[in-house]
Amino acid sequence: MSLGSIMQIGLTGMFAAGASMQTSSHNIANASTPGFSRQRAVTGSARGMLTAYGVLGSGTQVMSIQRQTDQFLIAHRRDQMSMMTQYDTEDMALQNIEVIFGSMDNNHLGDAMTQFFNSWSSLATPPHNEVLRRDVLGSAERLALDLNAMSNSLENLGNDLDDQIASSVNSLNMMMDNVAQLNRQIIVGETSNSTANDLRDQRDILLGQISELARADVIERDDGTVDVIISGRTVVTRDHVQHLEVTHSDSEELQRGAAKITVKGGRYEVDLPEGHLKGLVSAREESVLGARQGLDELSRILIDKVNELHGQGLSDGGRGLLFFTGDSAATIAVNSQLVDNPQYLATSRTNLTGDTDIALEIAALGQSGTDVDKGMSMNELFSALVVDLASDTAASQFRVEGQQQTIDALDARLESVRGVSLDEEAANIALYQNAYQANARVISAVQEMFESVLTMV
């Protein structure tokens, strides 16, 4: 055993301590970096030297720099986050619809409907005058305008969701491009059995963001690259990307038709898995469409029932004038002939003084106990819409809160594995510093031994 070998052992110890200290310093510097996984220098004894009296140790060596992470937890969190973003997106849409419809405490359309039927009740009480007729027409116009505004708001909400779908698909394509780019960098960076830890962290963050938009299955290859699979279709293979695009069907239910996600340049439709994109499509084609259909059905019943009764009446303008025009919430309006000639408003079937049977029957459409449709009055029909919407919103919020608790639990478990503890890293640095100094003293002792030998010559 030579003095040079002893010095070399000291040097390996200093290098290992320095590498470990540098790794801890890197951890401390990235303690608040989102998605960072703490790293650890893995050391092992160097290959010994065979001598006549046995194998002598030759120091230590840094085997690898390992990421402290749990890919199973990360994959599980990605799946749960896909569900979370979908639930949250659907919940936001329901909240927006609830704002448009109002609530039981702020029931603007219900109030307008009540005022409309109350104005008919007032008109049914003699004596008749021009003011009461104009009050009926004014309340009818306010009701029609409120329905028009709500329908327009729902249409705008649907169009906004359309824009969000297109934007989210573009973002998804960009993220997939970035994953492919990181795949290339990892192949280059992981030569000689090394691991590109920071690049892998960046890729995990991107994969998490992709799964927020659409749940993705991730398969890692032996070369360190990953394949990304969405709904059974491989969209990223090493550095190759299959982009997605938005198409629309010929449906007339919403302005632009039903949204579909397809493989760009191909003919394959992607059945969206859980995620923000599915939440947007679901909100657009189920929540918004359902709200519009409910509002249109309410408007159609109102138009048909009032027109049926008013058409039976007699007035100075004759028999059979329609009170409302249009056939939906978007098109309902008061007949312009009545607006221009309030005396054409019919209150009875005889047009005799004191006869108000038509006005009474129209007023009764809004009264509780009247069977307009499904055993409910017009006011009760709308209240049922509001109650159903409030129930759906409450259930959606409960689902979001429950899923958030699941995410929080997974985050806590993942943080315990890959999170940086500043106290632990500080203790490690002190340990590595002592090891570095001890190995430096070995080298210093060897130098003194060399000097002793040289003075003897």
pLDDT for 255 beyond 60:
no
Please give the distance of CA 299 from its chain centroid, rounded to a whole number.
Answer: 32
pLDDT (tens digit per residue) in 182-216: 999 999 888 766 788 999 999 999 999 999 999 99
> Which single residue is written with the structure tokens 């998490």?
208
Query: Is residue 245 within 8 Å of residue 264, measured between CB atoms?
Result: yes
pLDDT (tens digit per residue) in 426-457: 999 999 999 999 999 998 998 888 888 778 76
CA-closest candidate to residue 244, choices 221, 216, 204: 216
Q: What dihedral angle (degrees, nearest 10) is formed by the CA atoms of 266, 272, 278, 281?
A: 50
Give, as one character, the DSSP assignment of residue 50: E
Per-residue buried b or exposed e for 31-40, using 16+ beta carbons within 10 Å of the residue's own CB:
eeeeebbbbe
Alpha carbon distances (Å) from 341 to 90, 121, 317, 345, 351: 47, 20, 8, 8, 16
Annotate 196-236 with DSSP letters as a single string: -HHHHHHHHHHHHHHHHHS--EEEE-TTS-EEEEETTEEEE
The one-letter code for the residue type at 176 is: M
pLDDT (tens digit per residue) in 59-71: 899 988 999 999 9
pLDDT grade, residue 80 (50/70/90)? Answer: very high
CA-closest candidate to residue 60, choices 18, 1, 106, 103: 18
Question: Would you kindly state where each structural domain of the chain is located, as residue ranges?
Answer: 3-68+421-456, 75-408
Residue partners of 409: CB distance under 8 A and separation at least 6: none
Q: What integer pLDDT is reported at residue 250 of this predicted model?
A: 54
- What tokens were used for 67? 């990421």
The separation between the first and the last C-alpha atoms of the chain, rounded to the nearest angstrom, is 20
